[in-house]
Structure 1
């Protein structure tokens, strides 16, 4: 990671841990395969490039992605945007739309490898400023562990991105143990990102997916990992929850209070918020069987969070909850739902005297640099 520091910069580099890409070499590789994909289209689902009037799309087993903008594909545009934002180093995650839920496991493994090799090409474009987080097929946690290790061995990757929804076992189920073992042993960063959330209220309304459904999915999926004992059994995991952790920090007290309830038929039974947590009841195939040993909020404070809260007040509160040594800069580049000026968003909180200079430095780069280098 030290080699990633921007030339001439004396201080710790500013590091953005939440950004996305569709490498242009991935599009090129898929174009090269187009004749074969078309011949096999009726035999099995695959991935193909579609070029329509509104731009380039990918057809992933019949699911057509939104248009792929140049912000995702153009490395020069990416580096120029980083310069404008004051970001020295960016951890680049795959666009979540690349998730291969609709294709068979064999084809998905091949596609995932193609995506990750293309992310490696992107890193090679500017190795002092870019590192990658790998795409994984979350339907097969054991093969996901193998792919994580393969990518780490290249020296271009710092970890992986995992979708919190979609096909495959939930992240708190024991099927994921081989992956959590690998991530713990290697110290890899695992970015936990919403994918295909459902409306918790059954309400479909413009923009509510971004505003409510995404953070609600993060809260439910990661909260289950705390309640089911996953975070207890793998204390060395380095998990970063995007979008400021969803509602997890704000709901931490409620997690503790409700988890402390013993099973009862009396909905009016009183609860002592300071009581020890009773074993979590988690149902479903492959569910984890070891309960949490501490109150859930203790596990939630062991997580990492990005700074993408869209509010200096919320960012200040997040840092009060988790500590500046658990919060890292996140832009969600290049999407308009992210933050086009993430460094300023952090310094604005300091200007309002909500954050100290030391806390600002931690969020902008010190925390990520320590996490990714061990320094």
Structure 2
């Protein structure tokens, strides 16, 4: 990292045993796990359970993590909790306890490699006032770069005005909000062939980002720094229909400008799998709005994120921006590295 700008993977995960220990056995946990099983289907759930066992060292052991980062050409990871550990069903007391435990756990993991790892905490969306407090705890209490959130929580959409204090506080702190859905509400319709993830995650991104755009959140909080995982799902390349609705229907005008105009106000990770898709994302949002992402260490992620960006054939400046420059401008380098930059 001394002779060139660092490569920064903004989409990498950690598993925290302490969080799961808090959740297990609490009221609502059994119902939550049953819903997850229905959504995934038994065949996919069995594969995922096997993956969880085999990939556990990559999620918990920092030596293993650093070795795999070296193999993939990644200098820095911005790590966040595995989304199955959001536990959005939790009541107020448990939600506050789990958020504090998550923030502390992420910070402790990053402290094991302070020159290579930065972290994101969580904010329990179901309880908006607690979400603000959790953001403060993450950024001010533990030195994290922001928080990871899902596409919704029970009874709460990202467009709800109750979340305005969270967006306001994130803008005030220059904190990053990392949108990473988990659990598509199409439920059993996606319970075969792993559609719950391959289709469900992009759908959840499209719905969540549409709430932020059409709901006027980005108008009210232009300083919000939000990164969408998985390249933003279906939304970035499919906004022509949304623009048409905005122009032709008064009920579709919850935002001040056509929906496509908001893409350059958001950030997206590069996890779109093919060179053509990445070129399309860069064309839609701008090279300054795409950041390296791998979804480490899951099978829907990629082990060679830097190589995949280079394979897209972007110009050198765009490649440098995506692989690390944009993350650096968003303040996502570890404090120990940023001090030397």
Matched residue, 1:287: none
In the TM superposition, what is the alpha-carbon distance from 1:62 to its structure 2 partner? 6.4
Query: d(CA) in 1 for partners of 2:177 and 2:64?
Result: 26
> In the TM superposition, what whole-angstrom CA distance separates every residue of 1:26-72 from its partner, at most 9, and x where no partner exists?
37x94xx8xxx99xx5xx538xxxxxxxxxxxx67763894452221
Tell me the secondary structure at the aligned position of residue 321 of structure 2. helix
* Residue 18, structure 1, aligned to residue 18, structure 2: no
Matched residue, 2:71: 84
1:102 to 89, 95, 99: 89
> In the TM superposition, what whole-angstrom CA distance separates every residue of 1:57-106 from its partner, at most 9, and x where no partner exists?
xx677638944522211111111111111111111011111112333210
Matched residue, 1:339: 302
Matched residue, 2:320: 361
The structure with more helix, counted as a fraction of residues: 2
1:63 to 19, 33, 44: 33
Query: d(CA) in 2 for partners of 1:200 and 1:250?
Result: 25
**TM-score (ref. length: structure 1):** 0.79
Q: Aligned in 2, Cα 1:200/1:151: closer, same or farther, shift over 3 Å?
A: closer
Query: d(CA) in 1 for partners of 2:177 and 2:318?
Result: 23
Tell me the secondary structure at the aligned position of residue 20 of structure 1. strand
Query: d(CA) in 1 for partners of 2:134 and 2:187?
Result: 32
Matches within 5 A, 1:1-375: 6=1, 9-23=2-16, 26=18, 30=21, 44-45=26-27, 63=33, 66=49, 67=52, 69-154=56-141, 156-199=143-186, 202-262=189-249, 278=250, 280=252, 291-350=254-313, 355-372=314-331
The answer on whether the counterparts of 2:183 and 2:196 sit within 8 Å (CA) in structure 1 is no
The answer on whether the counterparts of 1:133 and 1:158 sit within 8 Å (CA) in structure 2 is yes
How well do the aligned residues superpose, as a CA RMSD in angstroms? 2.5
Per mean C-alpha deviation after superposition, the further-off stretch among 117-126 and 151-160 is 151-160
Per mean C-alpha deviation after superposition, the further-off stretch among 69-78 and 193-202 is 193-202
Q: Aligned in 2, Cα 1:356/1:191: closer, same or farther, shift over 3 Å?
A: same
Tell me the secondary structure at the aligned position of residue 165 of structure 2. helix
Structure 2 residues without counterparts, runs of 5 or longer: 37-48, 333-337
> In the TM superposition, what whole-angstrom CA distance separates every residue of 1:190-225 from its partner, at most 9, and x where no partner exists?
111111113399454212122211101100111121
Q: Whose radius of gyration is greater, 1 or 2? A: 1
Query: d(CA) in 1 for partners of 2:285 and 2:198?
Result: 22
Query: d(CA) in 2 for partners of 1:113 and 1:119?
Result: 10
Tell me the secondary structure at the aligned position of residue 13 of structure 2. strand
Query: d(CA) in 2 for partners of 1:325 and 1:349?
Result: 15
The answer on whether the counterparts of 1:200 and 1:216 sit within 8 Å (CA) in structure 2 is no
Per mean C-alpha deviation after superposition, the further-off stretch among 65-74 and 365-374 is 65-74
